[in-house]
Amino acid sequence: MPTKRVLVSDEAKEVIDQLREQHGPLMFHQSGGCCDGSSPMCYPDGDFKLGRSDVKIGEIHGVPFYIERQQFEYWKHTQLTVDVKPGRGSSFSLEIPMGVRFIVDSRIYTEEEEADLDPVERVDA
Amino acid sequence: MVYDRPQLEERYLNYIGGEFVEPVNGQYFDNPSPIDGKDFTQIPRSTQEDVDNAVAAAQKAFDETWRHTSVTDRANMLNRIADITEANLEHLALVDTIDNGKPIRETLAADLPLVVDHFRYFAGVIRAQEGGISELDEDTVSINLHEPLGVVGQIIPWNFPLLMAAWKLAPALAAGNCVVIKPAEQTPVSIMEWLELVQDEIPAGVVNVVHGFGPEAGKPLAQHEGIKKIAFTGETTTGRLIMQYASENLIPMTLELGGKSPNVFFESVMDADDDFFDKCLEGAAMFALNQGEVCTCPSRILVQESIADAFLERLTARVNAIKVGNPLDDSTMVGAQASNDQYEKIQKYLKIGKEEGAEVLAGGDVARNAEPQMSVAEGGGTATATGTATGVGGDGAASGDGAGSIPEGGYYIQPTVFKGDNDMRVFQEEIFGPVVSVTTFKDEEEAIRISNETLYGLGAGVWTRDAHQLYRVPRAIEAGRVWVNCYHLYPAHAAFGGYKKSGIGRENHKMMLSHYQQTKNMLVSYSKKALGFF
């Protein structure tokens, strides 16, 4: 079975469930750059306009996870785990009013895993 | 010397139409200090209705008074604001230190003096700004005049709370706009303490502040039909959202989205062990300024192979002498990271950097007070590194109080030097912590190539004694600001902004006015004759 590119912690699943109850279907987009960059952003599905510059690298707890293709080039050798920590990241990510912040934990794939990874889907926007 | 914490309000309000007002829904959130992780005040948890009220107040002020004020009046107001800020510099510096965790010596010597200077700079340039007039033919004259946009929205980051507000406020007000600001939810306090001081100088409704969380208050501001421009500093995904929202209203935006700035050291820097080389070492250690929470953090050091070993030995010693500790202590060089999630995120990067095979030359962990009873057997290399990285070493001056210099409960990271390759994630992502990644290059061509191998292009540093290099290399680096034989200087008179994915538009400098002004062209005919078409 192919190795997943994005995983999710149990704590993050609980937060996703609460957000889904409040906002309906969700999406993640991995940010880069300044301040809260490198944090995953969670929005109501469709709120963030995807483009052909984005790729989908998996689904976590039923929520699609996207990242910009060029950024993914630097991330693709690492498996991501979306976790959640107490904190107050600024951005428009939905969990922030709850006093928690999604963050990404990363680890390098083994050679065997790297030979059989989940496919990366282009976004046909 | 450790400064006392000033008395602050138990609760702050929004500032709308010249009044301090409660949020419509009556809700607040707790605001902690990263120094010790403890809540010290409450901040409005505003929503759409508060943003609506602020935009309406700003529009009213714009229509009724502000758009009719003279540039002299506006410049005088900015100068008075600068004077009041300067007279209260220490208090405001303390507030930013408590709310953000940055060391008091930086807020006293950099943040606040730059705030003051920024208001004075824009007070000056707006008086000197001229439109244009051209005689197109003997009967036709074209006049270009500057006009304000109207109500503008500004979303402020948390890394330099009052300075980043000043960067956006000063040009917007100088140009004659009214402003609705949403401060960062991590650092909402200093702008309120500042407004208490300067409010009498600002006509009601010209500056409005709405606090709250991004999805609840930031988004309604960015999407508001009443604003004529939105300015944002932050990260790329939110930057794209801001563009998306601006497109809904067909308004302009400026974005500053960070970077992964290279700091390039050519071999000539070690031709002599002199003042200039000392400056170079400080320049390399500048990654630790503001705990690395700077969009232009020089977080990649590129050093020429021929000097790499000697240079890194000197740099490591310099970094190990950095004192981490209580931000209110004026000998502290690196304070607390601004929030717990930031602290957690940096630790993830320390972990992935080590996993990817980067060598740890200094630091590499969170900063805690050294264990008082550490046995000699345990006190190997790691423990020694920890001790020096937290500044207990050196001349021993900081180790006297026994209780340790790092407050409990706060978010402290050791200044960290990684050595590795430019394709590692710690070389490509903005960690926003006191973490630098070092790699080497053979020659000028390779230095330029590695410098540009990044998605971003905000800042860069070039250090050399070679007069040819110090022109040629900065021109070849794709970044909006290249510091040459210096780093981390932010004069109001120098344009600042990004190439590539680091953003759109500029801040600072007179040219910033163009982001807050329309051009009105009056085309005047002095001919009495019809054109002859109809």
Q: What is the dihedral of CA A4, A9, A12, A13, to 10 degrees?
A: 70
Residue spans of beta strands (DSSP E) within B17-172: 19-21, 28-33, 38-44, 132-137, 140-148, 151-155
Among candidate residues B51, B161, B32, B190, the one with its CA nearest the CA of residue A99: B32
The two structure tokens encoding residue B139: 């009967």
User: Cα separation of A100 and A106, whole Å?
Assistant: 19
Place of tokens 């244009």: B132
Residue B382: predicted pLDDT: 39
Q: Which residues of A touch B348 (CB under 8 A)?
A: 103-106
For chain B, positions 70-129, list CB contacts with chain A under 8 A: none
Q: Model confidence over A28-38: pLDDT tens digits?
A: 999 988 777 78
Residue B229 pairs in a beta bridge with: B152
CB B445 within 8 A of CB B419: no
B421: exposed, middle or buried (C-beta count within 10 Å: 0-12, 13-18, 19+)? middle
Q: Topology of domain A6-122, per CATH?
A: Hypothetical Protein Aq_1857; Chain: A; (2.60.300)
Q: Is A31 on the interface with B (CB under 8 A)?
A: yes
Say whether the ipTM exceeds 0.90.
yes
Determine whether the interchain pair B214/A38 forms a contact, defined as Cβ–Cβ distance below 8 Å.
no
Q: Is A41 on the interface with B (CB under 8 A)?
A: yes
| Catalytic residue, candidates B185, B193, B256, B444 | B256
CA distances for B20 relative to B23, B77, B195, B208, B226, angstroms? 10, 20, 10, 10, 22
pLDDT < 50 stretches in chain A: none
pLDDT < 50 stretches in chain B: 374-403
The two structure tokens encoding residue B484: 């040459």
- Among B216, B244, B339, whose Cβ lies nearest the Cβ of A87? B339
Contacts of A24 (CB under 8 A, 6+ apart): A44, A45
A73 → chain B, closest CA residue: B423
Q: Model confidence over B16-31: pLDDT tens digits?
A: 999 999 999 999 999 9
- Among B257, B340, B352, whose Cβ lies nearest the Cβ of A78? B352
A29 → chain B, closest CA residue: B237
Q: Which residues of A touch B239 (CB under 8 A)?
A: 33
| Catalytic residue, candidates B193, B280, B293, B295 | B295
Q: Model confidence over B314-351: pLDDT tens digits?
A: 999 999 999 999 999 999 999 999 999 899 999 999 99
Contacts of B161 (CB under 8 A, 6+ apart): B96, B99, B100, B183, B184, B187, B188, B189, B190, B191
B184 min Cα distance to partner chain A (Å): 6
A12 min Cα distance to partner chain B (Å): 14
Residue A36: predicted pLDDT: 74
Q: Which residues of A touch B259 (CB under 8 A)?
A: 33-34
Q: Which residues of A touch B234 (CB under 8 A)?
A: 33-37, 90-91
CB B335 within 8 A of CB B33: no
Q: Sketch the domain layout of chain A as residue ranges.
A: 6-122
Residue B322: predicted pLDDT: 97
Angle among Cα B137, B141, B145 to the nearest 5 degrees reads 150
B422 min Cα distance to partner chain A (Å): 10
Residue B393 pairs in a beta bridge with: none
Contacts of B344 (CB under 8 A, 6+ apart): A85, A87, A103
User: Cα separation of B418 and B360, whole Å?
Assistant: 5
CA distances for A46 relative to A59, B18, B237, angstroms? 15, 38, 14
Determine whether the interchain pair A34/B432 forms a contact, defined as Cβ–Cβ distance below 8 Å.
yes
User: Cα separation of B477 and B260, whole Å?
Assistant: 13
A119: exposed, middle or buried (C-beta count within 10 Å: 0-12, 13-18, 19+)? exposed
CB B123 within 8 A of CB B76: yes
Determine whether the interchain pair B429/A34 forms a contact, defined as Cβ–Cβ distance below 8 Å.
no
CA distances for B533 relative to A92, B529, B530, angstroms? 56, 12, 8
CB B458 within 8 A of CB B479: yes
For chain B, positions 332-351, list CB contacts with chain A under 8 A: 339-342, 344-345, 348-349, 351
Determine whether the interchain pair A49/B240 forms a contact, defined as Cβ–Cβ distance below 8 Å.
yes
B161 min Cα distance to partner chain A (Å): 12
